[in-house]
């Protein structure tokens, strides 16, 4: 395989002495593997197709948002009307979802498509044994596949945000406020983290399952379950188990609604939706049920960025924990598995 030959040459390019190259492998081999994985992704058709799809949806969302930008900014009853650049990501005329809704659907596909055959394809092609014969650590192989994909995803989302910012500045002539910049960068960070969770899950499945097609179908099945069927299942269970709401007090109804929201937040897509909605809409003050006593005297005004971040911190922590657990489990299985069998 040409990429394996390039990796081998890169490891020994600085010195003809293999022993000296082994001494420097901890510093150089990892980034050589990261470069090799990034090159493989960039030249793969699946990445090109998903890249084009995400870019097209981004431009379509921006076109719809720009068409409704004047109406959205002129709506003084909306506390968020002063945030022009946030409206570029959230304003819509109901003919097409905003961009963060598209990311909640396309982000998992991006992570799954770039990680479902990360390990089992190397093993089935016989390149895993040859790769491990090089002076590299086994854990660096797994880490390089994860880091290289996250770098590509980060470059993609950051480039789109910079393009949106530059286009908005040229069209409107309005400079971006610091709070808007912080919120948009937090949105990008959470989007990268969301893709990273599905990437770590797909890598885990590629380690545990021998066939790439099986790991891809399993990952897509998990994504469909949590995105579509999980909410339906929770509603059916709640209707069957909980008593009739007509015979409950307001406090009991609020407690049951809080229980339903807690169950729904097991889904990564729900965590991502809650986090991005709160960050891109500063007027959102709570993600749970609010009583009339809590609403009394409240002034509809946008929250500072720090308070919005504190509201979504449990969602961000949940995504981080899920990503770490999936990657750690895959790391444990991969480090204990015999690769020659």
Q: Residue 143 belongs to what domain range?
A: 29-289+301-336
Whether 222 is in a domain gets the answer yes
Q: Considering its fold, how many domains does the chain have in total? A: 1
Q: What is the pTM of this model?
A: 0.85
DSSP string, 182-243: HHHHHHHHHHHHHHHHHHHHHHHHHHH-S-HHHHHHHHHHHHHIIIIIHHHHHHHHHHHHSP
Whether 24 is in a domain gets the answer no
Q: What percent of the chain has pLDDT over 90?
A: 21
Q: What percent of the chain has pLDDT over 70?
A: 81
Whether 256 is in a domain gets the answer yes
Confidence of residue 272 (pLDDT cuts 50, 70, 90): very high
Of the listed ranges 23-27, 105-109, 216-220, 241-245, the one predicted with least confidence: 23-27
Confidence of residue 101 (pLDDT cuts 50, 70, 90): confident
Whether 212 is in a domain gets the answer yes
Confidence of residue 27 (pLDDT cuts 50, 70, 90): low
Q: What is the pLDDT of residues 169-213, one digit of tens each?
A: 887 777 888 888 899 999 999 999 999 999 999 999 999 888 888
Whether 257 is in a domain gets the answer yes
**Mean pLDDT calculated for residue range 148-153:** 92
* Element spanning 95, H or E: none
Cβ-Cβ contacts under 8 Å for 85 (sequence gap 6 or more): 164, 165, 168, 176, 177, 180, 184
Q: Please answer whether residues 89 and 173 qualify as being in contact, where contact means their C-beta atoms are separated by less than 8 angstroms.
A: no
Give the torsion sign (CA, 288, 292, 294, 298). positive
pLDDT greater at residue 2 or residue 185: 185
Whether 2 is in a domain gets the answer no
Whether 332 is in a domain gets the answer yes
Confidence of residue 1 (pLDDT cuts 50, 70, 90): very low
Whether 110 is in a domain gets the answer yes
Confidence of residue 296 (pLDDT cuts 50, 70, 90): very low
Confidence at residue 218, expressed as pLDDT on a 0 to 100 scale = 93
Confidence at residue 162, expressed as pLDDT on a 0 to 100 scale = 85
């Amino acid at each position: 395989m040409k990429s394996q030959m390039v990796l081998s040459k890169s490891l020994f390019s600085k010195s003809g002495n293999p022993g000296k190259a082994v001494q420097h492998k901890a510093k150089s081999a990892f980034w050589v593997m990261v470069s090799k994985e990034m090159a493989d992704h960039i030249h793969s058709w699946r990445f090109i197709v998903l890249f084009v799809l995400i870019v097209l949806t981004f431009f379509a969302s921006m076109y719809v948002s720009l068409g409704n930008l004047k109406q959205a900014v002129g709506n003084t009853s909306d506390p968020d009307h002063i945030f022009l650049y946030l409206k570029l990501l959230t304003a819509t005329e109901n003919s097409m979802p905003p961009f963060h809704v598209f990311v909640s659907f396309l982000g998992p596909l991006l992570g799954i498509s770039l990680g479902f055959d990360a390990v089992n394809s190397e093993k089935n092609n016989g390149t895993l044994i040859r790769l491990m014969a090089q002076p590299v650590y086994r854990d660096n192989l797994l880490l390089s596949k994860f880091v290289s994909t996250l770098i590509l995803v980060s470059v993609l989302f950051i480039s789109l945000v910079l393009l949106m910012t530059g286009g908005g500045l040229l069209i409107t002539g309005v400079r971006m406020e610091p709070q808007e910049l912080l919120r948009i960068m937090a949105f990008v960070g959470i989007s990268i983290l969301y893709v990273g969770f599905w990437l770590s899950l797909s890598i885990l499945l590629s380690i545990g399952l021998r066939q790439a097609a099986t790991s891809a179908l399993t990952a897509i099945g998990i994504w469909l379950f949590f995105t579509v069927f999980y909410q339906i299942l929770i509603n059916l269970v709640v209707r069957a188990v909980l008593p009739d709401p007509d015979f409950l007090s307001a406090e009991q109804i609020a407690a049951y609604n809080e229980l339903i929201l807690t169950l729904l937040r097991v889904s990564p897509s729900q965590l991502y939706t809650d986090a991005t909605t709160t960050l891109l809409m500063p007027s959102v003050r709570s993600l749970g049920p609010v009583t009339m006593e809590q609403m009394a005297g409240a002034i509809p005004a946008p929250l500072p960025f720090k308070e919005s971040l504190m509201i979504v911190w449990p969602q961000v922590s949940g995504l981080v924990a899920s990503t770490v657990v999936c990657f750690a489990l895959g790391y444990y299985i991969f480090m204990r598995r015999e690769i020659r069998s």
